Structure 1
Amino acid sequence: MDAGTARRVTVTAWVVGLLGLALVAGSLVWLRTGYVLSRVNGDSMSPTYVIGDRIVAERVGGDEVRRGDVVLYSAPERYGSGVDVMQRVIGVGGDRVVCCEAPDTPRESITVNGERLSESYVKDGIADGLHRPYDVTVPEGRIFLLGDHRQNARDSRAFPEDRAGTVPVDAVRGRVIDSFVGPVLLGVATLLGLLIALFGLILGIGTRVMRRRPAEQTALWPEHL
């Protein structure tokens, strides 16, 4: 391999290797900053999510969540430091959440701004189950959350003395989504980046070996005359 060709191949090896490393770094950063991966450890969101389920949440600002969204949030003063809680958003800033219409009957329900919620996701069709009526107007910049298993959820209802149980939107870490496509694609991109970087490394080492070989052969040739 002549010197000019060797230099071009070496440059190519460097470019390929750096591109591979950039792909790895970019994918890992995107995965870390764009998603939260977790596992369900409690029963408060059954039957929608049960113990052991793996979940993925896309990182969004708390002001982006809407009624009906399932979110991960942190409230260390309630649940302890480092604990992510998964619950469903029932009311956002300005909403009036009232429980319960027709209590102690199969038609028990929650209303938001006077409209009865249709909650097919709640366990056994029970909208509350605790029989503790509440009438909450959610302050701006906060959200009211409930678990889907209303009889076994320590949610906004458990903290009426703290802004009627509402949580600041800044506490939201992510919105739970049903698709793992994003994280999987980023994982594939990371693997691809590693393979590209490895190819660049092998190409660079091979070029270095080929450049040294003629010199070694020239140095050894006279000794064999």
Structure 2
Amino acid sequence: MAGRKPTAGAVIQALGIGIGLVAMVGGFVLIALQYRPYQVPTGSMEPTVNAGQTVIAEKVSGSDIGRGDIVVFKDTDWGNTAMVKRVIGVGGDVVKCCDAQGRVTVNGVPVNETYLDENPTVGRAGPADQQFSATVPAGRLWLMGDNRAISEDSRVHLDQLGGTVPASTVVGRVEGVVLPLGSMHSIARTTVFDALPGRAATDHGPLGLAAYAAVGGGALVLITAGAGTVAGIVKRRRTRGA
């Protein structure tokens, strides 16, 4: 006896589940291959990243990093653990603190760092605070935390190659917060350095697309499977009632 042909509904259901599975698995695989999570133990990057949160960073080469990028790096001169800071200066830059409004300058240009806390509980670095002037050697980076009042960054390592770290120590560029779940969010690329000549913050990777694919694919599988189950129940009830 010849087998029954699949109904249009069954074909649509199979296609929906198949497409959903491909999108979900593809999204998770892309994230697993290109991204790594890192916990931030201190408040040195507040308010952008809070103490105890876990960030997700795309694996990138330090030579591609630009001013404004938030990076994960590991420099043995700074300790044996991965750290998260923001790039303020790249090779050839002169970074100084500060102008009359308390702004850091890069190559003589004041930078309006809109990601800093506008009302910090402790005053941020300013003219009456820690003054510094550093020239960043080629292949190295000047790094600072967004919480300037407590961050132990390039400013406290001025006696070690002018506070800079090798660009090769960068292991990732931070693109979002993933834990705790209630605080999950992406971190947008900053534009505050775009007016300066040279390397500004780099474009983020496919994290958003991969996340949408994974979540959307999973949702499509559940919705399609659920709809098929409901349709089957309704059909059986109608058959019994006939």
Q: TM-score range by the shorter chain?
A: 0.5 to 0.7
Report the 3-state secondary structure (helix = DSSP H, G, I; strand = E; otherwise coil) of the residue aligned with 2:175.
strand
How far apart, CA to CA, are the structure 2 residues paired with 1:68 and 1:42?
20
Residue of structure 1 equivalent to 2:64: 64
Alignment partner of 1:30 is 2:24: no
Shift, 1:176, TM fit: 2.7
Task: Tell me if structure 2 keeps the 8 A contact 1:130–1:151.
Answer: no
Shift, 1:28, TM fit: 3.6
Q: How many residues align?
A: 193
* Distance 1:184-1:130 versus aligned 2 partners, 3 A rule: farther
Alignment partner of 1:112 is 2:112: no
Q: Deviations over 1:33-75 (max 9, x none)?
A: 2223344321101122222444333333323322222x23222
TM-score by length of 1: 0.62
Q: Quick one: which amino acid aligns to residue 179 of structure 1?
A: S
**Larger radius of gyration between Structure 1 and Structure 2:** 1
Identity of aligned residues (%): 34
Alignment partner of 1:179 is 2:173: no
Report the 3-state secondary structure (helix = DSSP H, G, I; strand = E; otherwise coil) of the residue aligned with 2:186.
coil
Shift, 1:91, TM fit: 0.7
Aligned positions of 1:1-225 closer than 5 A: 26-69=26-69, 71-77=70-76, 78-81=78-81, 83=82, 85-102=83-100, 107-120=101-114, 121-122=116-117, 123=120, 126-127=124-125, 131-170=129-168, 171-177=170-176, 179=186, 182=208, 183-188=210-215, 191=218
Structure 2: segments with no counterpart, 5+ residues: 6-17, 177-184, 188-206, 223-242
Structure 1: segments with no counterpart, 5+ residues: 6-17, 196-225
* Distance 1:148-1:24 versus aligned 2 partners, 3 A rule: closer
Task: Tell me if structure 2 keeps the 8 A contact 1:98–1:112.
Answer: yes
How far apart, CA to CA, are the structure 1 residues paired with 2:124 and 2:52?
23
How far apart, CA to CA, are the structure 2 residues paired with 1:42 and 1:129?
25
Q: Quick one: which amino acid aligns to residue 139 of structure 1?
A: P
* Distance 1:67-1:159 versus aligned 2 partners, 3 A rule: same
Task: Tell me if structure 2 keeps the 8 A contact 1:27–1:189.
Answer: no
How far apart, CA to CA, are the structure 2 residues paired with 1:117 and 1:23?
41
Alpha-carbon RMSD: 4.2
How far apart, CA to CA, are the structure 2 residues paired with 1:189 and 1:30?
15
How far apart, CA to CA, are the structure 2 residues paired with 1:118 and 1:20?
44
Report the 3-state secondary structure (helix = DSSP H, G, I; strand = E; otherwise coil) of the residue aligned with 1:44.
coil
Residue of structure 1 equivalent to 2:9: none
Task: Tell me if structure 2 keeps the 8 A contact 1:59–1:175.
Answer: no
